[in-house]
């Protein structure tokens, strides 16, 4: 019903853009928190660049999964 309402009133794109922006902001915030919690620093980047890349990829995937589960698939 909500989809139909948004589509008919021409507000669907606005709603989708707002949801996308909120999701991206939440992913960014979660990534910052998880990076800090796991101790991924610029020092690690200098010492072991591949390990940092691996950790950052893991963090990003986890953050995206959390946001999708909590915000999109509710």
For the stretch 8-62, pLDDT in tens is 999 999 999 999 999 999 999 999 999 999 999 989 989 999 999 999 999 999 9
Query: In this structure, what DSSP letter does residue 10 have?
Result: T
The CA-atom distances, in angstroms, between 39 and each of 26, 33, 42, 52, 55 are: 20, 10, 10, 10, 10
CA distance 33 to 60: 11
Question: What is this structure's pTM?
Answer: 0.83
């Amino acid at each position: 019903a909500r989809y139909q309402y948004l589509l008919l009133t021409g507000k669907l794109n606005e709603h989708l853009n707002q949801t996308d922006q909120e999701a991206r902001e939440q992913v960014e915030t979660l990534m910052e928190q998880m990076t800090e919690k796991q101790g991924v620093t610029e020092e690690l980047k200098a010492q072991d660049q591949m390990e940092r890349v691996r950790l950052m990829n893991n963090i990003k995937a986890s953050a995206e999964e959390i946001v999708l589960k909590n915000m999109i698939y509710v």
